[in-house]
A and B are shown apart, each in its own frame.
Chain A
Amino acid sequence: MAAVTVTKLATGIAGFDQIARGGLPRGRVTLLEGAVGTGKTVFACQVLAGGIADHGEAAVFIACDEPPAEVRRNALGLGWDIAAWEMGGQWAFVDCTGEPGRETVVAGAFDLGALLARVEYAVRRTGAQRLALDSLDGLFAGLGDGHAPRQEVVRLLAGFRALGVTSVVACRPDAGSLVRMAGPAADNLVRLAAARGGHSIEIVKFRGAPHQKGAHTVVVHAGEGMAVLAPRSVDSRHVQRGDRVASGNPVLDRMAGGGILPDSLILVAGPPGLGKTLLATEFLAGGAGLGERCLAFSFNESRARWVRNAAAWGIDVEKMEADRRLAIVAAAPQGARPDEHLLMLQALIDRFEPRRVVVDSLSSLRGAATRRGYQAFAAQLVALLREKGVIGLVTAAAPAAGPWHPWDLALASSADMVVLMRYLEAEGEFQRAVAVLKQRASWHEHGYRAFTVDDTGMHIGRPVRDAGALAGEGQAAAWEETLAAHEPRGVPGR
């Protein structure tokens, strides 16, 4: 028997089509598994809306949980005018929610012949190519005790396939036997889940079609719907982990055990004005010097000011820009919501395709967000940088009393490398000092080294001995232990 060629249908969900290598397999049934509030309805609506808006493909929505009026209202908030599409004959609802006050009893064996007849009628009437059912558990909840005969689930999905439409069938993962029946009967399985700082999406199964594995971060954006933070290139994460990359500062490379790891995420923490932006600029210059493209996302300073500061350190940022090695983009922390900043950063990365990305500084967002919002942003930022396969460097202001702000502990835990900058009282004077607190799965130097800054940049000198009581080697070791205690068990995207 000849192999069946699977063609893909672009969903219109930014990033999803990338991890799905083109979209959902056309003409097949995709089971969309997710708990309440993980975005199943948004996903389903967006697949249909994308078909109408981008491809002129009509759609049928089988409403079992929320009545059509509510689906219309929620969709309008995401920018989709379903009522207008209904008027234009491009969208039809099959309403299975049942009118209020209706009582239903089950008195014997039944099939879903009426539903299939209605769906077929709606598909023929609109010429629909896309179909969504929201949700399978809601459908059977309306039928007595909610127990579905296996053959009816199988027949329903086969019926959708026979209509030639591409369908998305939502179902709660805790809907017991329903999931066990629908899972094997569906061609594809996509899973939505709550994740730290938001939601994630994973393509678990695409029968006979390629897709990218692993969970990816999902952002839902008012007025635009859902977006998936997809990796820029699939191959970039398969760089050999043993290869080290120059950070841009040779002494820091030695402290880090011989350079930074490719695809790593570096957190640079320290009090304001000590040299975090300088270290970030050297990191960018190091990348540009290797012929890599670099992107700097500045919440602190305007582009012009960054250029002036860099010139004072002897780094010609404008030349890097002229050579198309660097792009500096400044954004006002309060100018947009955190998820809007994130989508902007994703768009910039996709357009500019950098190897290195700097975000300076994350702490500027503290004033614009709640603790939860800030930490969600940080987690999503980490996910984005990892998924794009870039070397990321994020700076964050640290209070005088400790290496990082309590809001940043999770960030420090998920970073591959943590660099701490401090003022130390040592040998009778205040010195600027830098230490590597963490370097994932590898040796790194422990303790501080003093550094100076002049018009040729940052000069890291000898290890600091006899550090004062304020913050000595012992304290640095204690902070390393704190960090180890907060180490996540599984690192996302690895």
Chain B
Amino acid sequence: MAPAATPRVRLRLYVTGGTLRARQAAARVRALCDERLGRDYELVVVDVLDQPEAAEAARIVATPTLVREVPLPPRHIVGDLARTDAVLAGLDLADDAALAALDAR
């Protein structure tokens, strides 16, 4: 199945270089979204060392920072995303029916 033309959730993950923390954060958000949203999301990883002006425009201070751009309001989830509950709450996915299924397993 191809990704939806207009994904329900659009995410941007700001990281500093190819550090372990950056790779872990990217893997965690992918795993979570694949599970909860199937293909109905878009994730772009931005390296602030390559694109400082993008970090400037989005006023990013810490890395990693996961920004939910769509839907509004904008959400910033700061850190390596190890705290899954906080990530799900930040993305408004915590009360998804899928969560119950996850817990049941």
The answer to whether A53 has its CB under 8 Å from any CB of chain B is no
**Contact call B21/A94, Cβ cutoff below 8 A:** no
Chain A proximity mask over B60-90: 1 for CB below 8 Å, otherwise 0: 1111110000000111111111111011011
Residue of A101, A104, A107 with highest tally of chain B CB at under 10 A: A107
| Assembled-state Cα–Cα distance A97/B59 (Å) | 8
Closest A residue by C-beta to B15: A113
Q: Is the CB of A118 within 8 A of B76?
A: no
List chain A positions with a Cβ less than 8 A from chain B. 94-99, 101-115, 117-118, 120-122, 139, 142-144
Nearest A residue to B50, CB-CB = A117
Closest Cβ of chain B to A185, distance in Å, is: 18
**A114-B14, A114-B61, A142-B61 given as contacts; is B76 within 8 A of A105 (CB)?**
yes
Known interface pairs A101-B73, A106-B79, A118-B55; A96-B61 also in contact (CB < 8 Å) = yes
Q: Which of A97, A98, A104 has the most CB of B within 10 A?
A: A104
Contact yes or no, A114 B16, CB < 8 A? yes
Contact in complex: A104, B76 (CB < 8 Å): yes
Interface pair A103/B61, CB less than 8 Å apart: no
A113 touches B73 (CB 8 A): no
Residues of B within 8 A of A97 (CB): 59
Contact B79 A107 (CB under 8 A): yes
B46 to chain A, nearest CB (A): 9
Judge whether A110 and B78 touch: CB under 8 Å.
yes
Chain B residues near A122 (CB-CB < 8 A)? 56
Sorted from nearest, which 9 A-B pairs have the closest CB atoms? A113-B16, A108-B79, A121-B52, A107-B86, A108-B80, A108-B82, A113-B63, A114-B60, A117-B48
In the assembled complex, B103 has its CB within 8 A of some CB on chain A: no
Report A-chain residues with C-beta under 8 Å of the C-beta of B14. 114
Known: A112-B62, A114-B14. A103 touches B76 (CB 8 A): yes
- B49 in the interface, Cβ–Cβ < 8 Å? yes
Asked if A106 and B86 make an inter-chain contact with CB atoms under 8 angstroms apart, the answer reads yes
Taking CB atoms and an 8 Å cut-off, the chain B residues in 6-63 that contact chain A are 14-17, 21, 25, 48-49, 52-53, 55-56, 59-63
| 19 A-B pairs (CB sep. < 8 Å) | A95-B59, A96-B59, A102-B73, A104-B75, A104-B78, A105-B86, A106-B83, A106-B86, A107-B79, A107-B86, A107-B90, A108-B81, A109-B79, A110-B64, A110-B79, A112-B61, A113-B15, A113-B48, A144-B78
> Which residues of the other chain, A, contact B74 by a CB distance below 8 angstroms?
99, 101-103
Complex formed: what's the CA distance from A104 to B73 in Å? 11
Q: Given A96-B61, A105-B90, A110-B63, are A121 and B53 neighbors across the interface (CB < 8 Å)?
A: yes
Q: Is the CB of B79 within 8 A of A117?
A: no
- Tell which of A96, A101, A105 touches B78, judged by Cβ atoms closer than 8 Å: A105
Q: State in angstroms the CA–CA spacing of A283 and B69 once bound together.
A: 75
Give the residues in chain B near A107, CB-CB below 8 Å: 77-84, 86-87, 90
Chain A residues contacting B25 (CB-CB under 8 Å) are 108
Decide: A120 and B80 in contact? CB cutoff 8 A. no
CA distance A125 to B76 in the complex (A): 27
B45 to chain A, nearest CB (A): 13
Assess A105 versus B89: contact at CB under 8 Å? Given A99-B74, A114-B16.
Answer: yes
Q: Which residue of B lies closest to A119 (CB)?
A: B52
A101 to B74, CA, bound (A): 8
Cβ 8 A contact of A115, one of B62, B75, B89: B62
Q: Could you tell me the distance in whole angstroms from the C-beta of A259 to the nearest C-beta in chain B?
A: 63
Residue contact B73 to A109, C-beta cutoff 8 Å: no
Given A107-B86, A114-B48, do A139 and B61 touch, yes or no (CB 8 Å)? yes
**In the complex, what distance in Å separates the CA atom of A412 from the CA atom of B78?**
58
Q: Which residue of B52, B75, B78, B79 is within 8 Å of A120 (Cβ)?
A: B52
- Taking the closest CB of chain A, its distance from the CB of B65, in whole angstroms, is 7
Give the residues in chain B near A96, CB-CB below 8 Å.
Answer: 59, 61
Given contacts A114-B48, A118-B48, A143-B62, 9 further A-B contacts (CB under 8 A): A104-B75, A105-B86, A107-B82, A107-B84, A108-B78, A108-B79, A113-B48, A114-B63, A143-B61
C-alpha spacing A98/B25, complex, angstroms: 22
- Name which residue of chain A comes closest to B55, CB basis: A114
Q: Shortest CB–CB separation between residue B12 and chain A, in angstroms?
A: 12
Cβ contacts under 8 Å, B83 to chain A:
106-108
A141–B40 alpha-carbon span in the complex (Å)? 34
In the bound complex, how far is the Cα of B12 from the Cα of A339, in angstroms?
A: 53
A114 with B79: CB separation less than 8 A: no
Closest chain-B Cβ to A118's Cβ sits at a distance in Å of 5
Residue of A nearest to B63 (CB): A113
Please determine whether A103 and B73 come into contact, CB atoms closer than 8 angstroms: yes
CB of B92, distance to nearest CB on chain A (Å): 11
